[in-house]
């Protein structure tokens, strides 16, 4: 996706989470499909750290891990202020 195009949660980020990701993480209180939850900066930062495996088990456990491009897109979305 072009670097200058605004990143949207609904259009670009939400589709990257599989049903199994949403369901497993909901049980642990991490609401990957809930815009109000994931757009809170602290939650978005924690999800980004989990996707990268910074200081914790990389998510999803055992992969398939997000590509460098997908992680960069999530990071760009966070930097943009987590727009809907």
Taking the CA atoms of residue 40, residue 43, residue 47 and residue 52 in that order, the dihedral angle to the nearest 10 degrees is 100
Nearer to ligand HEM, 60 or 83 (CB): 60
**Does 19 contact ligand HEM by CB under 6 A?**
no
**Does 17 contact ligand HEM by CB under 6 A?**
yes
CB 60 within 8 A of CB 25: no
Nearer to ligand HEM, 4 or 13 (CB): 13
**Does 44 contact ligand HEM by CB under 6 A?**
no
Using CB atoms within 10 Å of the CB of residue 67, give its burial: 0 to 12 exposed, 13 to 18 middle, 19+ buried: exposed
**Does 42 contact ligand HEM by CB under 6 A?**
no
């Amino acid at each position: 996706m072009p670097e200058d195009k605004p990143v949207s949660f609904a259009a670009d980020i939400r589709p990257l989470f599989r049903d199994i990701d949403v369901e497993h993480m909901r049980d642990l209180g991490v609401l990957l499909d809930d815009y109000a939850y994931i757009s809170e900066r602290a939650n978005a930062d924690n999800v980004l750290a989990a996707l990268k495996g910074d200081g914790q088990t990389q998510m999803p456990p055992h992969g398939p891990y997000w590509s460098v491009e997908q992680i960069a897109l999530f990071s760009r979305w966070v930097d943009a202020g987590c727009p809907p």
